[in-house]
Amino acid sequence: MIMGKLLPFKKVKNILILTALDGSDSSKNAFRQAVRFARKERCSVTAVTVIPTYEGEIELIGIQNMKEAFKEPGEKILAEARQIAAQEGVEVYTFLAEGDIHESIIDLAVARDCDLIVMGRRGRTGLERAFMGSVTARVIGYSPIDVLVMPHDSVIKWDNILLAVDGSHYSEIAASRAITFAYTYGKELNILSVVDIPIEAYAEAPDYVEKLVEKARDNTELVKISAEVAHLKTETFVRVGDAHEKILDVASLVKPDIICVGSHGRTGLRRLLMGSVTEKIIGNAPCPVLVVKGY
């Protein structure tokens, strides 16, 4: 047996959720699903709509109450959110913020001590899904709080989680979080590690690749030990090739309710790139993707 420290986990209690609303169908669905999840947990939800700061010359366009004109659609979005929450019997706190969108979302989530930011993924066609919205990318890149990105018409369920691990510190945090959610709400955890090198490398350096595969197998087995302590049904996978493609391949095989990945730090370059693998997973995943933050 591979020996290693057990990853910490515990029952989730009183999870605090913030949902960002922009009037799109995807953000409405994300909010509705967050509300339904909150109803089961008997907790409240925070909803925020952000008005970008207008930087033009108001006098030039002849509208003196430009700020009020910008507020009106935001107020309508939040009014609809209150109506949805009332229908589900969930308490909701609504905020109309002004300023940089991703900063406003993060600042409010931090101020309200939220545990999770829920956002909808725009785009239904392949081309639209391939590019994540800049706001979502920046929220993920800068947020100290976990972010759940939801495709249109998806739901929040935790019965079957697919966890991608790579042996890093950030991966360990993601694994602990995935076990926690599966232990609290679900029953099954699929654990995947990808050796992110071209498959052709097998022919050129088979011994080296085999060592990487063995390390990847160790990474999955270490998580499996902790998951089994939590009495979860587990299965492990090791793949060689492009990371996001292999993660999506395994997702099509095990059909998870959630894909869970770690976020690799907050340095300037990391923030800007946000992690191309994570971005491609989010853009193409058939289910919600939980990006776990931790430092």
Least confident of 17-21, 26-30, 260-264, 269-273: 269-273
| Cα–Cα nearest to 278, from 174, 126, 159 | 174
Residues 42 and 161 reside in one and the same domain: no
> In the chain, how many domains are there?
2
Question: Is residue 276 domain-resident?
Answer: yes
- Is 23 in contact with 72 (CB distance < 8 Å)? no
Q: Determine the Cα–Cα distance for residues 136 and 122; give it in Å rounded to an integer.
A: 10
Least confident of 60-69, 218-227, 279-288: 60-69
Q: Determine the Cα–Cα distance for residues 220 and 204; give it in Å rounded to an integer.
A: 26
**Looking at residue 264, what DSSP letter applies?**
-
Confidence band, pLDDT 50/70/90 cuts, at residue 178: very high
Residue 94 has pLDDT above 70, yes or no: yes
Q: Where are the alpha helices (DSSP H) in 100-236?
A: 101-111, 126-130, 134-142, 169-185, 201-204, 206-229
Residues 60 and 164 reside in one and the same domain: no
CATH assignment of the domain containing 28: 3.40.50.620
Query: In what helix (H) or strand (E) does residue 190 lie, and over which residues does it extend?
Result: strand 188-195
Residues 115 and 175 reside in one and the same domain: no
Residues 111 and 199 reside in one and the same domain: no
**Mapping DSSP to helix (H, G, I), strand (E, B) and coil, where does residue 103 land?**
helix
Question: Is residue 5 domain-resident?
Answer: no
First to last CA, the chain: 29
